[in-house]
Structure 1
């Protein structure tokens, strides 16, 4: 099967995600962080036809 570049990470293998941070004084916020791409498991490519 042919492969194509992962649209979520752009082929880098890492993507930016957000996680909630509790802040009792200000109501909390979302913090951005880099992690291994969940869609391609860090390979940077997915099977062509996978959506």
Structure 2
């Protein structure tokens, strides 16, 4: 009985941690996308008048 309770507590703890980590992952994905969008805005464009 005690072993079962211990396992159930561990499962509950892992589920909470999993939820927290998924939220953190979503925040990191959003931050990475925002950073990438900012980099795209500052790119240089080659001119058509360049003598290549």
Q: Give TM-score scaled by structure 2 length.
A: 0.24
Q: Which has the higher helix share?
A: 2
**Which is richer in strand?**
1
Comparing both chains, which one has the higher relative contact order based on Cα–Cα distances under 8 Å and sequence gaps of 6 or more? Answer: 1
